Amino acid sequence: MNVTFLDTETTGLEVQRGDRIIEIGAIKVVDGVEVDRFYERIDPQRQINEGAFCVHGISNAMLEGMPLFSEIAPRLISFISGTELQIHNSPFDDEFLSMELKRAGYDRLEAYAPIQCTLKLAKEIHPRGGHSLDSLCDRYGIDRSHRTHHGAMLDADLLMRVYDHLIKDKNKKTEGHY
């Protein structure tokens, strides 16, 4: 199976208020083996709000001279096509990516790759809580000590590691060993 683990960082939390994507990180895995990575910082053509900056630590100055989303869209589409997207809290990233794709003259994200939500999967497997990426890393003993801020590639990498454990737990639960 071909899977792409994907994460984004944004200027804020609300597409409806004009917030935009500033960073995309994606890791492609084919038959269980990492084969490629996609990483871009993007000029959002707007200011990053203070709350978002506190989460990811990406400043407006760090995005000066970066490409616009429309410039990287064809490479992103090519990268994810033919894979299944695994995204933690996929409705958030899907809303932002679909909006950016539409602005650039493309179809919604799901037109290029089916989207699966690992947050939903985590809630099905572990209904009692601990569904954030940090909580899942702690649950599975995945070192995240280097994660002082959110980052699209860092979070995609952590998600890839968490996903292996989620699938193993899902299989145990299905087989009645859980």
CA 66/CA 12 separation, integer angstroms: 18
CA distances from 133 to 34, 40, 46, 59, 142 (A): 20, 21, 28, 23, 10
Catalytic residue among 126, 146, 150, 177: 150
The verdict on whether 56 is a catalytic residue reads: no
Q: CA angle 51-56-57, nearest 5°? A: 90
CA dihedral sign of residues 24, 11, 118, 16: negative
35 dihedral zone (left: phi>0; alpha: psi -120 to 50; beta): alpha
Of 6, 7, 11, 8, the C-alpha closest to 58 is 11
* Residues designated catalytic: 150
